């Protein structure tokens, strides 16, 4: 699906190598975490490739050298718990990124999302990276974006490992400011709401919990 707010990294062999390991049912939790970190770094690098910059000058041991640095802050907001798997990679790419966290659970009767944990730094003028590895229906990512006070944010980007067209459409339609960077867009959801072929439950595989 085409959109100027969607970037699919299916052309990047570095992303593809780690994505293959994440999909593989034989991958151990330790290796899963390692590849999740690598994908997180690559997603963050692509997501901020066109961030505003500032020119400067720094003194090396030999002479002055021109510099190009980021001109705006970055805030990473993992959606608990699976989003934590991407955070080390985001910090690998953006060591000074601030961190907020949001925990959401859906009421079984009303189907409305309820925040059970919420703590974020000021977002005014920041590029906000919402870390949601599995963009299935798009509901959790959309709820997270809505729950954040993003009126002053300079840009909102959802970082996803695997998405569906349905999930992408939901997020982009619900908030016209939001961008998505994902490693892959898979074709379908099964009757349980799992992405197919997907990679299973990201959180369970990340932390080695039964699934």
User: Domains plus CATH for the chain?
Assistant: 6-49+73-207 (3.40.50.2020)
Residues 156, 206: Cα–Cα separation, whole Å = 25
What is the per-residue pLDDT for 156? 95
- Predicted confidence (pLDDT) per residue in 13-66, tens digit: 999 999 999 999 999 999 999 999 999 999 999 999 999 999 999 999 999 999
What is the per-residue pLDDT for 64? 97
CA nearest neighbour of 75 among 7, 139, 125: 125
What is the per-residue pLDDT for 150? 79
Q: So which residues are the catalytic ones?
A: 106, 110, 201, 204
Reported pTM: 0.93
What is the per-residue pLDDT for 109? 64
CA nearest neighbour of 82 among 27, 24, 40: 40
- All residue ranges of the chain with pLDDT < 50 are none
- Longest distance between any two alpha carbons in the chain, whole Å: 67
DSSP string, the chain: ---TTEEE-TT-HHHHHHHHHHH-TT--HHHHHHHHHHHHHHHHHHHTTT--EEEEEEE-SSSEEEEEEESS-EEEEEBTTGGGGTHHHHHHH-TT-EE-EEEEEE-TTT--EEEEEEE----TT-EEEEE-SEESSSHHHHHHHHHS--TT-SEEEEEEEEEEHHHHHHHHHH-TTEEEEEEEEESEE-TTS-EESS-S-HHHHHHT---
Residues in Cβ contact with 40 at an 8 Å cutoff, skipping those fewer than 6 apart = 85, 86, 87, 88, 89, 90, 92, 93, 131, 159
């Amino acid at each position: 699906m085409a959109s100027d707010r969607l970037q699919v990294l299916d052309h990047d062999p570095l992303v593809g190598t780690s994505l293959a390991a994440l999909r593989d049912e034989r991958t151990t939790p330790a290796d899963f975490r390692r590849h999740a970190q690598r994908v997180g770094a690559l997603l963050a690098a692509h997501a901020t490739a066109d961030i505003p910059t500032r020119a400067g000058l720094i003194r090396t041991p030999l002479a002055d050298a021109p510099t190009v640095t980021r001109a705006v802050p970055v805030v990473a907001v993992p959606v608990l718990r699976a989003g934590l798997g991407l955070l080390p990679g985001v910090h690998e790419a953006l060591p000074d990124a601030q961190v907020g966290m949001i925990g959401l659970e859906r009421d079984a009767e009303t189907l409305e999302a309820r925040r059970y944990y919420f703590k974020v730094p000021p977002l005014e003028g920041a590029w906000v990276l919402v870390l949601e590895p599995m963009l299935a229906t798009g509901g959790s990512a959309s709820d997270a974006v809505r729950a954040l006070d993003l009126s002053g944010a300079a840009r909102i980007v959802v970082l996803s490992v695997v998405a569906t067209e349905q999930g992408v459409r939901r997020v982009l339609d619900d908030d016209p400011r939001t961008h998505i960077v994902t490693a892959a867009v898979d074709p379908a959801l099964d009757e349980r709401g799992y992405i197919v072929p997907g990679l299973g439950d990201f959180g369970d595989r990340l932390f080695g919990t039964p699934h």
